[in-house]
Amino acid sequence: MFGIDLIDAGFMPAAIVALLAGVLSFLSPCVLPVVPPYLAYMTGISVGGLKSGERSAVPAAIMFVLGLSTVFLVMGFAASALGRMFLEYQIWLTRIAGVAVIVMGLHFLHVFRIPMLDQEARLETGDQGGSAFGAYILGLAFAFGWTPCIGPQLGMILSLAATEAQIGRGTGLLAVYAFGLGIPFLLSAIFINRAMGLMNRIKPYLKVIERAMGVLLIVVGVLLLSGRMADLSYWMLETFPFLATLG
Type of residue found at 197? G
Q: Which domain holds residue 93?
A: 37-44+57-239
Residue 15 domain-assigned (yes or no) = no
* 8 Å CB contact between 168 and 66: no
Residue 26 domain-assigned (yes or no) = no
pLDDT at position 69 is 92
Other C-beta atoms lying within 10 Å of the C-beta of residue 75: 21
Residue 191 domain-assigned (yes or no) = yes
Report which of residues 184 and 98 the model is more confident about. 184
How far from chain centre, in Å, is Cα 45?
27
If you ran DSSP here, which 8-state letter would residue 123 be given? P
Residue 9 domain-assigned (yes or no) = no
Q: Is the pLDDT of residue 70 over 90?
A: yes
pLDDT at position 135 is 87
pLDDT digits (tens, 9 = 90+) for 218-244: 988 888 888 777 677 677 667 766 655
Residue 10 domain-assigned (yes or no) = no
Measured between alpha carbons, how far is 240 from 223 in angstroms, rounded to an integer? 20
Helix, strand, coil percentages, rounded to 5, for the chain: 80, 0, 20
Measured between alpha carbons, how far is 109 from 93 in angstroms, rounded to an integer? 24
Measured between alpha carbons, how far is 69 from 74 in angstroms, rounded to an integer? 9
Q: Which whole-number Å values give the CA distances from 207 to 24, 117, 160, in the listed order? A: 12, 16, 25
Q: Is the pLDDT of residue 2 over 60?
A: no
Number of domains observed in the structure of the chain: 1
Measured between alpha carbons, how far is 79 from 168 in angstroms, rounded to an integer? 11
* 8 Å CB contact between 10 and 161: no
Residue 159 domain-assigned (yes or no) = yes
pLDDT at position 140 is 86
Type of residue found at 12? M
Burial of 49 (0-12, 13-18, 19+ CB in 10 A): middle
Mean pLDDT of the region 30-54: 83
pLDDT digits (tens, 9 = 90+) for 109-150: 888 777 666 555 444 444 445 677 888 988 888 877 665 567
Report which of residues 243 and 82 the model is more confident about. 82
Q: Is the pLDDT of residue 151 over 80?
A: no
Mean pLDDT of the region 183-209: 90
Q: Is the pLDDT of residue 6 over 60?
A: no
Residue 11 domain-assigned (yes or no) = no
Residue 208 domain-assigned (yes or no) = yes
